[in-house]
Amino acid sequence: MIEKTGLVVKTQSGFYTVQTEDSLVTCQLRGTLKQSSKKTELCVIGDHVTIEMIEDGTGAIKSIAPRERVLSRVEPSSAAGTALPIRTRRYLCSQRLNRRPTCAC
Protein backbone atom coordinates (compact mmCIF):
# COMPACT_ATOMS: atom_id res chain seq x y z
CA MET A 1 0.00 0.00 0.00
CA ILE A 2 1.17 3.51 -0.82
CA GLU A 3 1.32 6.04 2.03
CA LYS A 4 0.84 9.77 1.43
CA THR A 5 0.56 12.83 3.65
CA GLY A 6 -1.97 15.57 3.18
CA LEU A 7 -4.33 18.15 4.63
CA VAL A 8 -8.01 17.54 5.42
CA VAL A 9 -10.00 20.08 3.38
CA LYS A 10 -13.57 18.72 3.76
CA THR A 11 -15.52 16.49 6.14
CA GLN A 12 -18.97 15.04 5.59
CA SER A 13 -20.70 12.12 7.30
CA GLY A 14 -17.54 10.21 8.17
CA PHE A 15 -15.84 10.88 4.84
CA TYR A 16 -12.81 13.15 4.69
CA THR A 17 -11.40 14.83 1.58
CA VAL A 18 -7.61 15.04 1.85
CA GLN A 19 -5.47 17.29 -0.37
CA THR A 20 -2.22 15.48 -1.13
CA GLU A 21 0.60 16.96 -3.19
CA ASP A 22 -0.92 15.62 -6.41
CA SER A 23 -4.68 15.10 -5.94
CA LEU A 24 -7.80 15.12 -3.76
CA VAL A 25 -8.49 11.77 -2.09
CA THR A 26 -11.73 10.71 -0.36
CA CYS A 27 -10.86 8.85 2.85
CA GLN A 28 -12.36 7.27 5.95
CA LEU A 29 -10.83 6.82 9.39
CA ARG A 30 -9.28 3.47 10.22
CA GLY A 31 -11.08 1.51 12.94
CA THR A 32 -8.16 1.84 15.35
CA LEU A 33 -8.49 5.65 15.27
CA LYS A 34 -12.24 5.48 15.92
CA GLN A 35 -11.72 3.36 19.05
CA SER A 36 -9.44 5.85 20.79
CA SER A 37 -11.40 7.98 23.24
CA LYS A 38 -10.83 11.71 22.89
CA LYS A 39 -12.75 14.72 24.09
CA THR A 40 -12.38 16.52 20.76
CA GLU A 41 -13.35 15.56 17.24
CA LEU A 42 -11.10 12.84 15.87
CA CYS A 43 -10.37 14.55 12.57
CA VAL A 44 -11.27 18.08 11.50
CA ILE A 45 -10.62 20.40 8.57
CA GLY A 46 -7.04 21.58 8.71
CA ASP A 47 -5.58 18.43 10.27
CA HIS A 48 -2.40 17.04 8.74
CA VAL A 49 -2.86 13.31 8.17
CA THR A 50 -1.09 10.25 6.81
CA ILE A 51 -3.23 8.11 4.51
CA GLU A 52 -2.92 4.69 2.92
CA MET A 53 -4.11 4.54 -0.66
CA ILE A 54 -6.57 1.77 -1.56
CA GLU A 55 -6.72 0.16 -5.01
CA ASP A 56 -10.05 1.81 -5.92
CA GLY A 57 -8.51 5.30 -5.58
CA THR A 58 -9.86 6.09 -2.11
CA GLY A 59 -7.82 6.14 1.09
CA ALA A 60 -7.81 5.29 4.77
CA ILE A 61 -6.56 7.80 7.34
CA LYS A 62 -3.79 6.01 9.20
CA SER A 63 -2.64 8.77 11.58
CA ILE A 64 -3.41 12.36 12.51
CA ALA A 65 -0.61 14.79 13.40
CA PRO A 66 -0.92 16.60 16.74
CA ARG A 67 -2.78 19.90 16.53
CA GLU A 68 -0.89 23.12 17.17
CA ARG A 69 -3.90 25.22 18.26
CA VAL A 70 -7.12 24.35 20.04
CA LEU A 71 -9.97 26.73 20.86
CA SER A 72 -11.74 25.75 24.07
CA ARG A 73 -15.10 26.82 25.43
CA VAL A 74 -17.43 25.91 28.29
CA GLU A 75 -20.53 23.95 27.35
CA PRO A 76 -23.75 25.72 28.38
CA SER A 77 -25.22 22.50 29.82
CA SER A 78 -22.31 21.72 32.14
CA ALA A 79 -19.33 23.29 33.82
CA ALA A 80 -16.91 20.97 31.98
CA GLY A 81 -14.86 22.57 29.22
CA THR A 82 -14.79 21.31 25.66
CA ALA A 83 -11.81 21.67 23.38
CA LEU A 84 -12.58 22.68 19.81
CA PRO A 85 -9.77 22.17 17.31
CA ILE A 86 -9.03 25.08 14.99
CA ARG A 87 -6.60 25.68 12.20
CA THR A 88 -5.81 29.27 11.46
CA ARG A 89 -4.36 30.61 8.30
CA ARG A 90 -3.55 34.23 7.63
CA TYR A 91 -4.81 35.82 4.46
CA LEU A 92 -3.55 39.07 3.02
CA CYS A 93 -6.15 41.29 1.43
CA SER A 94 -5.13 44.27 -0.64
CA GLN A 95 -7.00 46.90 -2.54
CA ARG A 96 -5.86 49.46 -5.06
CA LEU A 97 -6.44 52.88 -3.58
CA ASN A 98 -5.33 54.85 -6.64
CA ARG A 99 -8.29 53.81 -8.72
CA ARG A 100 -11.52 55.77 -8.41
CA PRO A 101 -14.85 54.02 -8.84
CA THR A 102 -16.53 54.79 -12.12
CA CYS A 103 -20.22 55.26 -12.53
CA ALA A 104 -22.14 55.26 -15.81
CA CYS A 105 -25.18 57.37 -14.93
13 occurs within a structural domain: yes
Domain at 8, CATH number = 2.40.50.140
pTM (two decimals): 0.63
Q: What is the mean pLDDT of residues 22-38?
A: 80
79 occurs within a structural domain: yes
Q: What is the mean pLDDT of residues 25-43?
A: 76
* DSSP conformation class of 45: T
92 occurs within a structural domain: no
Domain span holding position 72: 3-85
74 occurs within a structural domain: yes
For residue range 36-89, list pLDDT tens digits in order. Answer: 656 667 888 999 999 999 999 999 999 999 888 777 666 566 545 555 565 555
**What is the secondary structure of 18-36 as a DSSP string?**
EE-SS-EEEEEE-HHHHHS
49 occurs within a structural domain: yes
34 touches 42 (CB < 8 A)? yes
38 occurs within a structural domain: yes
100 occurs within a structural domain: no
Q: Which of 31-35, 73-77, 94-98 has the lowest mean pLDDT?
A: 94-98
Q: What is the Cα–Cα distance from 36 to 13, expressed in whole angstroms?
A: 19
98 occurs within a structural domain: no
Q: Which SS3 state, helix, strand or coil, does residue 63 take?
A: strand
Judge whether residue 2 has pLDDT over 80. yes
Q: How many domains are contained in the chain?
A: 1
